[in-house]
């Protein structure tokens, strides 16, 4: 990760900030965007000069390949402000690595490291006022790449647009979350693109999720597509299971997104002496543990919610409620992670990145 390049990204200044129109106490996730956006185009085999311009609609041909063949990948990150008004990112090198891994799988050219980090830094300096102080507040950052070449032949695009847009976010509280374990639908194939943050992976989940919603479940925990016997991840979160005092989570494979929060939780668990096993977790063992009162917690991990405790789950016609623990692992990881993210504690893993 480079911290010292100076690209001097050109900035087209806004006329007036929109910030005064924003009600920071009532923010729907991902609905409001800041004053600027970072844009970099790819054509003739190279990424051109990046720039920062006022946030605005883009003009694009209706035959652009992103619309027809779904050549699009993205990332999700957050910027946090500490009590001294310093701004921090959390492990942005992981997001940089991952967007290029996603791109490679989708036949999109990789994005240069300097552009990514200089873009983030310049943008965040401009948008500093949009980052609210206070535990839970943040600026959600959405880097993404779309295929812009006009033409409806099914082959990789010659042209792309890389952008970063920013949306202020407040502490994420989703209410009680109950999940359904997938029995029929699936999220990703072996040998497919499930490990990539590819746009198409998400739309594919909307319909099965809407069926689960109608039954009173907020999310689905996906299982492997071949047997539906092993638990994989949720729509936008990796999942952890606490059986007794042991913490279990599925290993990464080509179906599962290699979550930054997930790998941080695993590191924190090991550091705290919690017994953590990264191995296939079967639906059967989780049900058995639930039936024996041995299943203590299920929680999701992801950038948006940090740690999201699950209060109950269903599999086929069985329904289970989880206990409400005083000293949950979920609570411990959430607090420990956020303390690092907001510069409230020592950063012994070197995860904070100062803007």
Ligand X SMILES: Cc1ncc(COP(=O)(O)O)c(C=O)c1O
Which range touches ligand X (CB under 6 A), out of 9-17, 25-33, 116-124, 234-242?
A: 234-242
Q: How far is the CB of 210 from ligand X (least distance, A)?
A: 17
Cβ-based burial of 177 (10 A; exposed 0-12, middle 13-18, buried ≥19): buried
Q: Is 191 in the site for its own copies (CB under 8 A)?
A: yes
Which range touches ligand X (CB under 6 A), out of 81-89, 300-308, 326-334, 342-350?
A: 300-308
Q: Which of 304, 335, 347 has the alpha carbon at shortest distance from 171?
A: 304
Cβ-based burial of 250 (10 A; exposed 0-12, middle 13-18, buried ≥19): buried
Residue with tokens 């999701």: 300
Say if CB 197 and CB 102 are below 8 A apart: yes
Q: How far is the CB of 283 from ligand X (least distance, A)?
A: 19
Angstrom CA distances, 88 to 78, 333, 355, stand at 8, 19, 6
Q: Which of 270, 190, 176 has the alpha carbon at shortest distance from 226?
A: 190
Say if CB 248 and CB 238 are below 8 A apart: no
Q: Is 236 in the site for ligand X (CB under 6 A)?
A: yes
What is the distance between the alpha carbons of residues 151 and 119, in angstroms, rounded to a whole number?
Answer: 29
For ligand X, the closer of residues 137 and 261 by Cβ is: 261
Q: Is 201 in the site for its own copies (CB under 8 A)?
A: yes
Q: Is 225 in the site for its own copies (CB under 8 A)?
A: yes
* Residue selected from 218, 238, 341, 343 as contacting ligand X according to rule CB under 6 A: 238
Q: Which of 291, 16, 33, 279 has the alpha carbon at shortest distance from 166?
A: 33
Contacts of 11 (CB under 8 A, 6+ apart): 36, 51, 52, 53, 122, 126
Say if CB 113 and CB 126 are below 8 A apart: no
Q: How far apart are the first and last CA of the chain?
A: 13
Q: How far is the CB of 334 from ligand X (least distance, A)?
A: 13
Q: Is 154 in the site for its own copies (CB under 8 A)?
A: yes
Site for its own copies, residues 60 to 99, rule: CB under 8 A = 60-63, 66-72, 74
Q: How far is the CB of 246 from its own copies (least distance, A)?
A: 30
* Residue selected from 109, 119, 143, 302 as contacting ligand X according to rule CB under 6 A: 302
* Residue selected from 79, 198, 283, 338 as contacting its own copies according to rule CB under 8 A: 198
For ligand X, the closer of residues 69 and 117 by Cβ is: 69
Give the pairing type, strands 178-181 and 312-315. Answer: parallel
Q: Is 237 in the site for ligand X (CB under 6 A)?
A: yes
Q: How far is the CB of 10 from ligand X (least distance, A)?
A: 30
Site for ligand X, residues 63 to 102, rule: CB under 6 A = 76
Q: Is 105 in the site for its own copies (CB under 8 A)?
A: yes
For residues 248 to 287, the per-residue mask of contacts with ligand X, x marking binding by CB under 6 A and - elsewhere, is: ---------x-xxxx-------------------------
- Apex CA 93: angle with CA 27 and CA 156, to 5°? 85
What are the structure tokens assigned to 6, written together?
Answer: 């100076």
Positions in the binding site for ligand X (CB under 6 A):
76, 233, 236-238, 257, 259-262, 301-303
Positions in the binding site for its own copies (CB under 8 A):
28-31, 33, 37, 55, 57-63, 66-72, 74, 104-107, 140, 142, 144, 146-147, 150-156, 163, 165, 167, 182, 184-193, 198-207, 210, 225-226, 235-236
């Amino acid at each position: 990760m480079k911290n010292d390049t100076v690209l001097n990204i050109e900035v087209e200044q806004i006329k007036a900030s929109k910030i005064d129109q924003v009600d920071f106490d009532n923010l729907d996730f991902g609905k409001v965007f800041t004053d600027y956006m970072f844009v970099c185009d790819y054509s003739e085999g190279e990424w051109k000069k990046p720039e920062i311009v006022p946030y605005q609609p883009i003009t694009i041909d209706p035959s652009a390949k992103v619309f027809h063949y779904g050549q699009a990948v993205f990332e999700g990150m957050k910027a946090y402000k500490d009590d001294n008004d310093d701004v921090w990112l959390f492990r942005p090198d992981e997001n940089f690595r991952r967007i290029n891994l996603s791109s490679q799988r989708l036949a999109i050219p990789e994005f240069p490291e300097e552009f990514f980090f200089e873009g983030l830094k310049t943008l965040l300096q401009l948008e500093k006022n949009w980052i609210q102080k206070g535990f839970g507040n943040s600026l959600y950052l959405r880097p993404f790449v779309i295929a812009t070449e006009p033409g409806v032949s099914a082959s990789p695009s010659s042209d792309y647009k890389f952008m970063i847009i920013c949306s202020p976010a407040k502490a994420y509280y989703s209410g009680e979350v109950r999940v359904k374990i997938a029995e029929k639908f699936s999220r990703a194939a072996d040998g497919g693109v499930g490990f990539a943050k590819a746009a198409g992976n998400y739309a594919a989940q909307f319909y099965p999720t809407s069926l689960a919603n109608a039954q009173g479940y907020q999310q689905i925990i996906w299982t492997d597509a071949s047997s539906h016997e092993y638990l994989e991840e949720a729509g936008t979160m990796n999942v952890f299971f606490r059986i007794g005092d042991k913490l279990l989570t599925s290993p990464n494979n080509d179906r599962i997104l290699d979550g930054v929060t997930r790998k941080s939780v695993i590191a924190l668990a090991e550091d705290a002496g919690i017994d953590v096993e990264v191995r296939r977790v079967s639906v059967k063992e989780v049900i058995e543990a639930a039936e024996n009162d041995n299943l203590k917690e299920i929680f999701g991990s992801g950038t948006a919610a940090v740690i999201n405790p699950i209060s109950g789950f269903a599999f086929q016609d069985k329904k289970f409620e989880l206990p409400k623990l005083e000293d949950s692992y979920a609570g411990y990881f959430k607090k420990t992670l956020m303390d690092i993210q907001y510069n409230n504690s020592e950063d012994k893993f070197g995860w904070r990145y100062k803007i």
